[in-house]
Structure 1
Amino acid sequence: MKPCVLLALVTIFAVVPAIGATPWTLASAVAEAQATSPDAAIARERVNAARAMLAQASATNWPQLSLKAGYVQTDNPMHAFGTILGQGAFNSGIDFNHPGRVDNFNATVTLGYNLYTGGRASARKEAAQNIAEAAELEQAVALEQLAAEVACAYFHIRQTREGVGALEAAVAAMEASHRLAELRFDAGQLIRSELLNLKVQLAQIRERLLEARHQAEFADRYFFFLLGGEETDSVVLDQADASATAFAAPETPSIVNRAELQGMRRRVAAAEKNLAAVRRARRPTVNAFAGYQHDQGWRRNGDGRSWVAGIQAEVSLFDGPLTPGRINQAQAEVEQARAGLRRLELSLGLELEQARLAHQLALEQLAVTASLIEQADEAARISRERFEKGVLLTAELIGVETRLTEARMRRAVALANERIAVVEFRRASGLPVIPK
């Protein structure tokens, strides 16, 4: 989902900052979100899980040491006779068929080491290494995605503040015109329907302002949601925030540096290594082992010690369709990963072009709204003077005031959209949202 989708329903409105609250800059908000947001925590844990898998795959390089101990009693002739021999307590007077009850405490230490696996272990380790690197790259993607969402929320809040200012200015201007209209009505210079038109328009603007403040509260809650907090105060933004304007659109946009692309390439490499490991399944496995055993019995006062050491080789000669099936599955996973990589390349290229066009549009809209608001301001000033002199109808005044309000709102939208478009353009080019 694109970073600004969830904020599309938040209109252009603002709230008054809470007194005494710490002002947020864009850089501090991004840093806070990347440190405390649940999304950032999930990305970190995915990396930890991938590293744990790598550690497991590397276990074949280490010797395996185990200790086993236990105590038993038996009168089974076979078990009893073996136990007596292990304890070194055999004598010619023992009846093999009825040796009696024998007890034994056994402690065994075993050491094993893998000498050769036909290359399967090294292939699996390399696959796990690629998966761990992919997870780290995906963590970077998640953090930049989060940074883009925070930036989007940040500029939407700035946009809402300017939008509320425009609505409040419209209310103030309409209230002044309404007071003047009442004076003219009392003097018999204005008919009642004209006065009622102004009252209706003033009520509508006040309704928009009321709705705006409620929606702005949601914008604040969403900002704190991204930061992983549950604050109920209004968001206070640093009005002199240099980090909000310190970044610019990329000069040479390209998807080469996209972490998603590099991560997917690691996934393809991991699938290829896994295929190599499966294809080596019929190669022999060679293990070295050594063990030391202590047997102690109290019923016959036996005490014996022994050791064993050797090398063991094993090779699978036939397992039916098991190995061929695993090879076909691994081959299909490789082809799937390669197709996914190609699809991602096309998708990222399209996303980059979309971001470039969106930024170009935002710049053009910014230029248009600059002249639009200048013209609307001048038209409103002239219309108010004409209305005061009684040479302008209320319907015309309402139209002019409405156009001025819309121009101010569009200007606020254009300013925020230009910054958001730069954020998306940088992310689409594989650049950090906030320059390091």
Structure 2
Amino acid sequence: MHTTGTRFAVLLMASSLGLTAHAESAGSVYTLERAIDQALAGNPELSILQARIEQANAQLGEALASFYPQVKASLSYQHSDNPAQAFAMIIAQRRLDFNSGDFNHPGGVDNYRPQVTASYSLFRGGRDYYLGKAAELGVEASELEKSALRNHLLNNVTAAYYGELAAVAAHKVSIGAVDAVDSELRQSRLRYEAGTLLKSEVLSLEVQLAEAKDAEIQAANAIELAQNMLKTLLGLGAGEPLSIAEAEAALPATPAAYDELLNQARTHPELQAAQKRVEIAERQLSAAQGAHLPRADAYVSYGSDSRDLAFSANRDNVTAGVTVELDLFSGFATQERIKKAEHELIAAQEAARQTRLRIENELHSARLKLSEALNRVQVAGVAVLAAEEALRQVSEQYQVGVVTVTRYIEAEVARDKAHTRQINARYDALRADAELKQAYGAWQ
């Protein structure tokens, strides 16, 4: 019978070499750093957020357009035999002749007027100013939301990466368990045929082998699930090759005090984005309230009137003026727009408060998870040493026939479970550290 510790080490080494060779042949080995870079470049959610930033920039440009003069060119045509209108068109065309015809019956008169008009908004109750400020804040909010998404994405990529490593390591342990039980089963069958072992011992080993194979199948499936999640985060298709590099990551340090982490979280992009949304709602409310104030516009137009489209400087004219308007009654539309803006402000304020509470709770939970995982790593290390020593002693007793094969297999299973708990605790600590960084915005 082979030495148990040696067999376990050989199995781990063989599995590692096999995975590495497969990864190199695929040419798609991803370290954590490369996976993060790929996610930042290929994840569609970041592209969506970038498009929203560009959209917000366009909305800002649209809002700022009201601070520039508006210039329009137009061409109008009129035909009238109304004496007043016809007389006015004849005068505009510079061809009035008091000795020509009957002014009461001028006949049909044609008038073409090409003109250029420039207008400028002098005052709109502050609405242009407030809407412009809201648009500026909208760009800032979109950029912060992209930072927040980046924060979430890097945490998810890190968690998925370590999740797959944990699944791969657990699969190695399960393969070792299957091979160990299978080896003992073959030897036990030979001893049973030789009449030196009870049938019940063989049956017990067959049950143990079935359980080990079931655990191996579940572990292999966990690798596939973890890899599919990672591919989604990296923006890769389901059929594209992906292998991750196996590297020994150092355990994270003990987390800082909660108050210190909470102070760092005050610059969290989600908190800042939520506050920007509150400020946007405040500006939009001010813009809605500005509808109660008068509006003033200046304008100037240059054109000419003629019976045809021929332009002549002798017939050109310029008109300039200022118009002031005030809505006396708008069917309560202004009041309803103000109410809508007020409720949008309340919703934004509550959303900001909800975001703050959520981040505080996430920070507290992530800190507890990291502390728990680090403690589990220490406990698991002690348990592995104890399980290895117990297996060594049981193995010696089994070799001299003091204990049954069932007891020996139980010791091997206990050793494998201890290794699995140690692996899970280690990667849980790494994932908890990534979650804590997301909670206080360290990934931005």
Same fold? TM cut 0.5? yes
Number of the residue aligned with 1:3: none
Task: Provide the rounded CA distance (Å) in 2 between the counterparts of 1:408 and 1:246.
Answer: 17
| Residue 77 (structure 2) pairs with residue 67 (structure 1) | no
Q: Quote the offset at 1:204 in angstroms.
A: 2.7
What SS class does the counterpart of residue 261 from structure 1 fall into? helix
Instruction: Evaluate the alpha carbon distance shift between residue 358 and residue 94 of structure 1 in structure 2; reply closer, same or farther with a 3 A threshold.
Output: farther
Task: Provide the rounded CA distance (Å) in 1 between the counterparts of 2:102 and 2:199.
Answer: 128
Residue 315 of structure 1: which of 326, 337, 341 is its match?
326
Contact 2:255 2:367 in 1 (8 A): no
Task: Provide the rounded CA distance (Å) in 2 between the counterparts of 1:280 and 1:93.
Answer: 55
CA deviation vs aligned residue, 1:82-130 (integer Å, no higher than 9, x gap): 555544455524776463474x554221111112223222122222222
Task: Provide the rounded CA distance (Å) in 2 between the counterparts of 1:187 and 1:246.
Answer: 51
CA deviation vs aligned residue, 1:135-169 (integer Å, no higher than 9, x gap): 21111101111111111110001101111111111
| Residue 280 (structure 2) pairs with residue 270 (structure 1) | yes
Number of the residue aligned with 1:253: 261
Residue 56 of structure 1: which of 62, 76, 79 is its match?
62
Instruction: Evaluate the alpha carbon distance shift between residue 280 and residue 100 of structure 1 in structure 2; reply closer, same or farther with a 3 A threshold.
Output: closer
Number of the residue aligned with 1:151: 158
Contact 1:66 1:110 in 2 (8 A): yes
Number of the residue aligned with 1:348: 359
Task: Provide the rounded CA distance (Å) in 2 between the counterparts of 1:322 and 1:192.
Answer: 90
- Return the structure number with greater helix share: 2
Matches within 5 A, 1:158-197: 158-197=165-204
Task: Provide the rounded CA distance (Å) in 2 between the counterparts of 1:100 and 1:276.
Answer: 53
Residue 379 of structure 2: which of 344, 351, 368 is its match?
368
Q: Which amino acid aligns with 2:367?
A: R
Task: Provide the rounded CA distance (Å) in 2 between the counterparts of 1:381 and 1:417.
Answer: 29
Residue 428 of structure 2: which of 395, 417, 427 is its match?
417
CA deviation vs aligned residue, 1:58-100 (integer Å, no higher than 9, x gap): 1221111112236x57465477665555444555247764634
Task: Provide the rounded CA distance (Å) in 1 between the counterparts of 2:311 and 2:388.
Answer: 108
**Percent sequence identity over matched residues?**
29
Task: Provide the rounded CA distance (Å) in 2 between the counterparts of 1:285 and 1:248.
Answer: 62
Q: Number of aligned pairs? A: 416
Instruction: Evaluate the alpha carbon distance shift between residue 293 and residue 30 of structure 1 in structure 2; reply closer, same or farther with a 3 A threshold.
Output: same
Q: Quote the offset at 1:296 in angstroms.
A: 4.8
| Residue 401 (structure 2) pairs with residue 386 (structure 1) | no
Matches within 5 A, 1:185-334: 185-232=192-239, 235-240=242-247, 245=250, 251=256, 252-254=260-262, 255-298=265-308, 304-319=315-330, 321-334=332-345
Task: Provide the rounded CA distance (Å) in 1 between the counterparts of 2:311 and 2:35.
Answer: 74
Q: TM-score, normalised by structure 2?
A: 0.84
CA deviation vs aligned residue, 1:354-412 (integer Å, no higher than 9, x gap): 11111111111111111112222222233233333332223322322222222222122
Number of the residue aligned with 1:99: 107
Task: Provide the rounded CA distance (Å) in 2 between the counterparts of 1:184 and 1:246.
Answer: 46
Instruction: Evaluate the alpha carbon distance shift between residue 333 and residue 406 of structure 1 in structure 2; reply closer, same or farther with a 3 A threshold.
Output: same
Q: Which region of structure 1 is more displaced relative to structure 2, 395-404 or 88-97?
A: 88-97
CA deviation vs aligned residue, 1:260-314 (integer Å, no higher than 9, x gap): 1111111111222222222222222221111112445449x78542221122222
Q: TM-score, normalised by structure 1?
A: 0.86
Instruction: Evaluate the alpha carbon distance shift between residue 105 and residue 27 of structure 1 in structure 2; reply closer, same or farther with a 3 A threshold.
Output: farther
CA deviation vs aligned residue, 1:201-224 (integer Å, no higher than 9, x gap): 223312332343233223212211
Task: Provide the rounded CA distance (Å) in 1 between the counterparts of 2:308 and 2:283.
Answer: 55
| Residue 44 (structure 2) pairs with residue 34 (structure 1) | no
Task: Provide the rounded CA distance (Å) in 1 between the counterparts of 2:63 and 2:288.
Answer: 14
Q: Which amino acid aligns with 2:23?
A: A
CA deviation vs aligned residue, 1:218-246 (integer Å, no higher than 9, x gap): 321221111111153553223347xx549
Q: Which amino acid aligns with 1:63?
A: P
| Residue 30 (structure 2) pairs with residue 24 (structure 1) | yes
What SS class does the counterpart of residue 108 from structure 1 fall into? strand
Contact 1:84 1:302 in 2 (8 A): no
Instruction: Evaluate the alpha carbon distance shift between residue 94 and residue 191 of structure 1 in structure 2; reply closer, same or farther with a 3 A threshold.
Output: farther
Contact 2:155 2:443 in 1 (8 A): no
Structure 1 residues without counterparts, runs of 5 or longer: 1-12
Task: Provide the rounded CA distance (Å) in 2 between the counterparts of 1:292 and 1:149.
Answer: 63
Q: Which region of structure 1 is more displaced relative to structure 2, 148-157 or 286-295?
A: 286-295
Instruction: Evaluate the alpha carbon distance shift between residue 69 and residue 320 of structure 1 in structure 2; reply closer, same or farther with a 3 A threshold.
Output: closer
| Residue 416 (structure 2) pairs with residue 405 (structure 1) | yes
Contact 1:180 1:388 in 2 (8 A): no
Q: Which amino acid aligns with 2:47?
A: A
Number of the residue aligned with 1:4: none
